[in-house]
Amino acid sequence: MTRSVYVSGIGRGDGRQVIELGVMELLTRLVDRVGVFRPLAHDDRDPVMELLRSRYRLARPTAEATGMTYEEAAALQAARGTDELVAALVDRYHAVARESEAVLVLGTDYADTGLPAELALNARLANEFGAAVLPVVAGRDRDASTIVAEVRNAHHAYTSLGCEVLATVANRVRDGEAREAARELDRHLPEPVFVLPEEPALAAPTVAQVARAVGAEVLLGDHTGLARDVRGFVFGGAMLPAFLPALTEGSLVVTPGDRADLVIGALAAHAAGSPPVAGVLLTLDQRPGDETMALADRLAPGTPVLAVPGGSFPTAAALLGLEGKLTAATPRKAEIALGLFETHVDTAALTGRLSVARSDRVTPMMFEHELIERARADRRHVVLPEGTEERVLRAAEVLLRRNVCDLTLLGPEGVVRKRAAELGIDLRLLAADEVAEDGAAHARVVDPDTSPLRERFAEVYAALRAHRGVDYDLAHDVVRDVSYFGTLMVREGLVDGMVSGAAHSTAATIRPAFEVIRTSPDADIVSSVFFMCLADRVLVYGDCAVNPDPDAAQLADIAVQAAVTAAQFGVEPRVAMLSYSTGTSGSGADVDKVREATALVRERRPELLVEGPIQYDAAVEPSVAATKLPDSSVAGRASVLVFPDLNTGNNTYKAVQRSAGAVAVGPVLQGLRKPVNDLSRGALVQDIVNTVAITAIQAQQQKRSNDA
């Protein structure tokens, strides 16, 4: 059983950080406690280790997850030999392994290490750690035949030194060479070989990384602007009419600081969206005047303007060959890297070869991973009405990069494209009549104001609401609202589901669903649940968002729906009908309502495990349950907790979320004919990603139900 993976290479420039991140993602899907160990490191900060610690919430400090520095290793090897060096590193590895269910080992980087026979050292360490090796070979600027030869050499080098090779990766391969190389390699090696293409968005440095590389001072620009990718450089020396046509999207303008005309011209072009630049870098230690800088700030708020003391030529030399890096400060690049890995690596096959026993515990990260995997397995199409909202655009890029679902964004296309460009986001937008040919997830923009669908939707809505006195003219105005337009797209089968609420109230999101989608035949009311991801388990809370004071019948319906939803997402339903009293110990109208609801649930679903009335502590804590309800099959083990009213449910979920550090995923609406889900207006990007994935899974379930 492999419990340690050693990602290594044969030289520099292989971009293996993408592979390390991808393998870490796989391991965290399987087990709770994943350790990371780097045997040898440079003295300076380790950006990949910091990224992994930040993204995967690793508790062990970098210093304790590192063997020693290259200088220490070289000195120890010279003084006492390789055996002593290896023994010391093995001891430090086991300090990490003892606390972990699986370990990712980051091999040496071949960058001025001062170590002889570096590949042989990596192989020996892998063997001593009991780790399977995943070699990574650089494919950049190489043709297919050279890549094939290099991969075969790497495979032979590690296997000849006694290593178990998990798989081999050729990384950063030109698109034109990738397919041929993959075809040839499949014929020659017994283990899987994966070929990853060059990804320009990973190679592009951010404006912040450029600023650090050249020691620039930031004169203007916010955090979002500094996070933009620099896709190229435009050196300004010509007059403005000749300069403007040279601008390209995502370029960094490098110009002497006394050329105020070029600064204003570049930022005016950016403000017009033709093209949006990454920023401006001023040289020669010259700064435009205060009035010019104030105008620049008004023209393109947030767009970075940097300054360096040197001239354009030495600045250009410093920028030559500068590449982007995966760091904790570039979470967007991490998502791009994961999307690249998951698109080109057979993760199911690799997971099978990892042979790591899946943990019985379900952590928040494991639950989130499972959502992404299930949504991606049968890709659906989701509409996001808030297409100009920053968090929605950032979530959309994650969803598309990781092939979770296809998307429609609502809003004026020019505004959406300009906003995405300002944020440095690539949405792979297709034109209205364009067909996706690469099989990857894609997005389109639809403007409710100008879409030809508006007339069709107005007729549909007028027919649905005629009993309320709605005519075509009124409906024509109503359906231009993005929430109504998106909901009608769901009703008409143009998309499979909708997610909204990042910038709209819950009422604005679900009212159109009540009017247009309506309640499912097997549900009495629409209700909601939250998936509460605690440290060691996932609980389902309902109803915490929709029904203020349900009666007994409605409460029973909420419980039955919540049990179905829980089962759909891999949570075995054991239902606790919560009250301030347990069993027969209390009385009163509130307790009687819960007692009646419990009886109705048992009547409707006799096979369902349900207990009520029951207090929260007796529902989830075995020691309390042993005292209060010792014979219950639910007490102490409840997974679905149904609150008696909205006041109790909403406050409880927020208290647990904030006090216990739980990840709250939802609210997930249940009881509708088609999936529509609401977001909190404080939703983070990951919350939006999770909710869209849940919506896609609900759409999969509905499709299977309709096909049955």
Q: What is the pLDDT of residues 631-655, one digit of tens each?
A: 889 999 999 999 999 999 999 998 9
Distance between CA 543 and CA 597 in Å, rounded?
A: 14
Domain co-membership, 100 together with 121: yes
The answer to whether residue 704 sits within a structural domain is: no
Please check whether residue 499 is in contact with residue 688, taking contact to mean a CB–CB distance below 8 angstroms. Answer: yes
Residue 473, CB half-sphere, CA atoms under 13 Å: how many? 0
For position 384, what pLDDT does the model report?
Answer: 96
* CATH number of domain containing 67: 3.40.50.300
Question: With pLDDT > 90 as the criterion, what percentage of the chain qualifies?
Answer: 36
Domain co-membership, 18 together with 89: yes
Pick the range with the lowest mean pLDDT from 208-212, 481-485, 532-536.
Answer: 532-536
pLDDT band at 358 (very low <50, low <70, confident <90, very high): low
Q: Is the pLDDT of residue 32 over 90?
A: no
* CATH number of domain containing 248: 3.40.1390.20
Please check whether residue 694 is in contact with residue 370, taking contact to mean a CB–CB distance below 8 angstroms. Answer: no
> Nearest to residue 531, comparing CAs of 361, 362, 392?
362
Distance between CA 32 and CA 40 in Å, rounded?
A: 25
Q: What average pLDDT does the structure give for the chain?
A: 87
**Strand runs (DSSP E) across 318-384, as ranges?**
380-384
- Cα separations (Å) of 414 from 347, 417, 418, 419, 482? 37, 5, 6, 8, 16
Distance between CA 290 and CA 78 in Å, rounded?
A: 59
Tell me the H-state helices in 552-684.
552-568, 589-604, 616-620, 622-628, 646-659
Domain co-membership, 508 together with 523: no
Q: Is the pLDDT of residue 536 over 90?
A: no
Tell me the H-state helices in 301-346.
312-319, 331-344
- Give the mean model confidence (pLDDT) for residues 418-423: 83
**32 lies in which domain range?**
4-198
Please check whether residue 216 is in contact with residue 281, taking contact to mean a CB–CB distance below 8 angstroms. Answer: yes
Domain co-membership, 285 together with 252: yes
Which residues have C-beta within 8 Å of that of residue 292, sequence separation ≥ 6? 260, 263, 264
**Which pairing describes strands 443-446 and 574-578: parallel, antiparallel, or unpaired?**
unpaired
The answer to whether residue 353 sits within a structural domain is: no
CA geometry: angle 261, 267, 270, nearest 5 deg: 140
- Give the mean model confidence (pLDDT) for residues 670-692: 89
Domain co-membership, 80 together with 182: yes
Please check whether residue 168 is in contact with residue 137, taking contact to mean a CB–CB distance below 8 angstroms. Answer: yes
What are the φ and ψ backbone dihedral angles of 281, each rounded to 5 degrees? Answer: -120, 115
Distance between CA 107 and CA 123 in Å, rounded?
A: 9
The answer to whether residue 179 sits within a structural domain is: yes
382 burial level (CB within 10 Å; 0-12, 13-18, 19+): buried
Which residues have C-beta within 8 Å of that of residue 60, sequence separation ≥ 6? 35, 36, 53, 96, 99
Tell me the H-state helices in 402-452.
413-422
Distance between CA 282 and CA 292 in Å, rounded?
A: 13
**Strand runs (DSSP E) across 92-190, as ranges?**
102-106, 132-138, 168-173
Number of domains in the chain: 4
Last residue of a domain, one of 167, 198, 229: 198
The answer to whether residue 408 sits within a structural domain is: yes
pLDDT band at 359 (very low <50, low <70, confident <90, very high): low
- What's the DSSP call for residue 429? B
The answer to whether residue 346 sits within a structural domain is: no
- Give the mean model confidence (pLDDT) for residues 677-693: 88
What are the φ and ψ backbone dihedral angles of 376, each rounded to 5 degrees? Answer: -70, -25
Q: Is the pLDDT of residue 703 over 70?
A: yes
The pair of structure tokens assigned to 212 is 């650090």
Last residue of a domain, one of 141, 169, 198: 198
- What's the DSSP call for residue 609? E
The answer to whether residue 250 sits within a structural domain is: yes
Q: Is the pLDDT of residue 128 over 60?
A: yes
- How many beta carbons lie within 10 A of that of residue 298, not counting itself? 10
Distance between CA 119 and CA 121 in Å, rounded?
A: 5
Domain co-membership, 477 together with 577: no
Residue reference for tokens 């019948």: 553
Q: What is the pLDDT of residues 313-335, one digit of tens each?
A: 888 888 887 888 888 888 888 88
Domain co-membership, 540 together with 631: yes
Domain co-membership, 147 together with 75: yes
> Nearest to residue 199, comparing CAs of 180, 172, 170, 179?
172
> Nearest to residue 408, comparing CAs of 436, 429, 424, 426?
429
> Nearest to residue 100, comparing CAs of 241, 4, 230, 211?
4
The pair of structure tokens assigned to 643 is 């609150």
The answer to whether residue 352 sits within a structural domain is: no
- Cα separations (Å) of 707 from 108, 373, 703? 52, 22, 6
For position 530, what pLDDT does the model report?
Answer: 92
Three-state secondary structure string covering 535-578: CCCEEEEECCCCCCCCCHHHHHHHHHHHHHHHHHCCCCCEEEEE
For position 566, what pLDDT does the model report?
Answer: 92
Pick the range with the lowest mean pLDDT from 139-153, 159-173, 383-397.
Answer: 139-153
Distance between CA 582 and CA 615 in Å, rounded?
A: 5
Distance between CA 229 and CA 593 in Å, rounded?
A: 58
Q: What is the pLDDT of residues 204-248, one digit of tens each?
A: 899 999 999 889 999 998 888 898 889 889 888 788 888 888 888
Q: Is the pLDDT of residue 123 over 60?
A: yes
- Give the mean model confidence (pLDDT) for residues 479-497: 93
The answer to whether residue 39 sits within a structural domain is: yes
* Amino acid type, 58: L
Contacts 24+ apart (CB under 8 A), 70-77: 70/40, 70/41, 70/42, 70/108, 70/112, 70/113, 70/114, 70/115, 71/43, 71/114, 73/40, 73/115, 74/113, 74/114, 74/115, 77/115
Domain co-membership, 534 together with 421: no
* Amino acid type, 88: A
> Nearest to residue 236, comparing CAs of 264, 213, 214?
264
Residue reference for tokens 């690793």: 58
* Amino acid type, 410: L
Distance between CA 342 and CA 441 in Å, rounded?
A: 13
Domain co-membership, 184 together with 236: no
Q: Is the pLDDT of residue 515 over 50?
A: yes
* CATH number of domain containing 608: 3.40.50.10750
Q: Is the pLDDT of residue 2 over 60?
A: no
* CATH number of domain containing 408: 3.40.50.10950
For position 354, what pLDDT does the model report?
Answer: 80
Domain co-membership, 138 together with 37: yes
- Cα separations (Å) of 105 from 96, 404, 535, 605? 10, 29, 25, 50
Last residue of a domain, one of 198, 230, 260: 198
pTM: 0.81
Q: In b/e form, how buried is each residue of 648-674, taking b as 16+ CB within 10 angstroms?
A: bbbebbeebbeeeebbbbbbbbbbbbb
Question: With pLDDT > 70 as the criterion, what percentage of the chain qualifies?
Answer: 97
Q: What is the pLDDT of residues 232-289, one digit of tens each?
A: 898 887 888 888 888 888 889 999 988 888 889 888 888 877 788 889 999 988 888 8
Domain co-membership, 639 together with 694: no
Residue reference for tokens 């589901």: 497
Q: What is the pLDDT of residues 35-90, one digit of tens each?
A: 999 999 887 678 899 999 988 888 888 888 999 988 888 888 888 888 898 899 99
> Nearest to residue 499, comparing CAs of 251, 329, 667?
667
For position 560, what pLDDT does the model report?
Answer: 94
For position 406, what pLDDT does the model report?
Answer: 92
Q: Is the pLDDT of residue 600 over 50?
A: yes
Helices then strands, counting H and E runs in the chain, come out as: 29, 23
